[in-house]
Amino acid sequence: MNSTDFAALVKDDRVHTALYKDPAIFEEEMDRIFNSTWVWVAHASDVPAKNSFKTSWVGRQPVIVTRDREGKVHVLLNRCRHRAASVCEKKKGKASVFVCPYHGWSYDVDGRLRKVPHAKGYDEAFDTSEFPLISLRTEEYHGLIFATFKQDIEPLADFLGPARKWIDLFMKQGAGFGVKTLGEHRFRFPGNWKIQLENTTDAYHFPIVHKTFLDSLDAETENVFDVLGQGGWVEDLGNGHSVMVMIPDLIDLEENLDAPIPDRFAALAEELADEGYPDDQVRRIVRAVGGSGFNLNLFPNVACSMAFFRVLRPVTVDETEITHVAIGMDGGPVAGNRARLRLHEHFQGPMGFGTPDDAEGWERVQRGARAGDDLWIMLNRGVDAPDGVAEAGHNAGDVSAETGMRAAYQMWKRMMSA
């Protein structure tokens, strides 16, 4: 299949079913997309101090994210340059050196090959500087760390473009403290990665798939989660990125701080006040504790989704791993972070009140896509966005529009036919 063939599989309002199930297309995606653009690998708080590290992925390739003695972040392929053994199998931790367990080659946290045991067995021309761990180009925006194999790609800030404004808004849920990762749920579903990519910009499914989550809320909170009924919108931010605003009142968490504290957070507000936090700070923490009122979908693998980071990793054409990273306040009140953890557990993760139904829905998509080889996935939903909300010049639709999916697939088409 060549570039022209790929382009023909994506139309303005639909994509071909083969995109979910053709292994040959999947192989090309790994090369043309995941090896060729900025891919999210970590949050800065995952590597908080010098010599701290976290293992992660760029597409199908395992990497180590490290912070060196000068505070610089590196993203290194997790593969010894000798005979390929992985040099780190921990999720995160501290290390000043990575030693290959097979023959003992040791690497600095910036990737440099430090020492080779029994070096006399190599001839004199052997130069350790030729065999560092392979280092990816790495850049960071507002704590989000991205890496890429493509050395000549545009700067991360340009790649994110108008999405940066929404990242800045999202990070306000640090409530004056920094944002810090608190833990993560990982789960897989037997389906293609793009089914999940679509879902983060799909408000249409929410009241149907998540009826039982909504039923578990008090009336006031259920109104907050009436995501289709609040004048929200979906906006194409370019480069496959999009934002879906579901709760316009919660776009800017530093506004409306005088609003009454919702009943469900009254106990938390009281606890914070008892701990001595002044009223304005209590209001700021409480307003931010449930997260932002939008999902920012960044092509191809991460979303800033209300109160957490959603990270996807393609495993095979019909298997995808999702990580839901809980976030909280770095150095903020324990009670506030505890509340955030419980809210995260309520919806997210393999036994949350939301995630298992999402996962089942996505599996049903993959199962259903076995039928109808000539059929298309329809992405034609949407009417105009409410007046005056989307940025002038941006393509936008109402909150339940499939605008964000169309944006992602146009980027897919651009990259697959480049």
Partner 1 sequence: MSIALEEKSVVTDLQTEAPTFEEAVAFIWAEADMLDRLDYKPWLKLWTETGKYIIPVDRDADYADALNIVYDDQEMRQARVKRLLSGFSMSSAPPARTVRTVSRFVVEARDETSITLRGAQMLAEYKYEHMRFLPADMRYRIVRAGNGSLRIDEKVVTLINADDFQFGIGYLL
Cβ proximity to partner 1: between 359 and 415 the closer is: 359
- Can residue 184 be called a binding residue for partner 1 (CB under 8 A)? yes
In the complex, the smallest distance separating the C-beta of residue 371 from partner 1, rounded to whole angstroms, is: 15
> Which string of x and - marks every residue 323-342 that binds partner 1 (by CB under 8 A)?
---x-------x--xx--xx
Kindly write down the DSSP assignment for every residue of 121-143, as one continuous string. Answer: GS-TT--GGG-PPPEEEEEEETT
The reply on whether position 83 binds partner 1 by CB under 8 A is no
Counting contacts by CB under 8 A, is residue 212 touching partner 1?
Answer: yes
- Considering Cα of 27, then 310, then 36, then 79, what sign does the dihedral take? negative
Window of 117-125, 147-155, 276-284, 344-352 that interacts with partner 1 by CB under 8 A:
344-352
Q: Do residues 272 and 333 touch, judged by C-beta distance below 8 A? A: yes
* Rounded least distance, CB 211 to partner 1, Å: 5
Residue 267 touches partner 1, criterion: CB under 8 A: no
Q: Measure Cα distances from 303 to 72, 201, 258, 306, 377 in Å.
A: 24, 9, 29, 9, 22
Q: Contacts with partner 1 in 307-326 (CB under 8 A)?
A: 321, 326
Shortest reach from residue 352's CB to partner 1, in Å: 8
> CB of residue 408 vs partner 1: minimum separation in angstroms?
23
Nearer to partner 1, 296 or 322 (CB): 322
Q: Does the N-terminal peptide bond of residue 162 adopt cis geometry, omega within 30 degrees of 0?
A: no
The CA distance from 253 to 291, in Å, is 8
Nearer residue to partner 1 within complex by CB, 82 or 338: 338
> What tokens does 113 get?
């090959």
277: CB partners within 8 A, 6+ apart: 285, 333
Amino acid (one-letter) located at 102? Y
- Within 8 A by CB and 6+ apart from 393, the residues are none
Contact in structure between 247 and 227 (CB atoms under 8 Å):
yes
CB-wise, 90 or 103, nearer to partner 1? 90
Give min distance, CB of 416 to partner 1, in A. Answer: 27
Using left for φ > 0, alpha for ψ between -120 and 50, and beta otherwise, residue 216 falls in alpha
**Residues whose CB is less than 8 angstroms from the CB of residue 384 and which lie 6 or more positions away in sequence, other chains included:** 396, 397, 398
How many residues sit in the footprint of partner 1 (CB under 8 A)? Answer: 39
Instruction: Tell the burial category of 198 from Cβ atoms under 10 Å away from its Cβ (0-12, 13-18, 19+).
Output: buried
Tell me how far apart the alpha carbons of residues 50 and 341 are, in angstroms, rounded to a whole number.
27
* Binding residue (CB under 8 A) for partner 1 from 186, 266, 316, 384: 186
Window 352-391: residues binding partner 1 (CB under 8 A): 353, 355-357, 359-361, 363-364, 367
- Beta-carbon neighbour count of residue 140 at 10 Å? 15
Question: Rounded to whole angstroms, how far apart are CA atoms 98 and 92?
Answer: 13
Task: Using the Cα atoms of residue 101, residue 102, residue 105 and residue 109 in order, give the sign of their dihedral.
Answer: negative
CB of 215 to partner 1, least distance (A): 7
Q: How far apart are the first and last CA of the chain?
A: 13
Which CB, 190 or 248, lies closer to partner 1?
A: 190
Closer CB to partner 1, 99 or 217, in the complex: 217
For partner 1, the binding residue among 86, 106, 216, 221 (CB under 8 A) is 216
Stretch of 46-54, 72-80, 142-150, 180-188 contacting partner 1, by CB under 8 A = 180-188
Site string for partner 1, 89-118 (x = CB under 8 A): --x---------------------------
Residues 213, 294, 309, 409: which binds partner 1 (CB under 8 A)?
213
Chain contacts with partner 1 (rule: CB under 8 A): 91, 182-190, 209, 211-213, 215-216, 321, 326, 334, 337-338, 341-342, 344-346, 349-351, 353, 355-357, 359-361, 363-364, 367
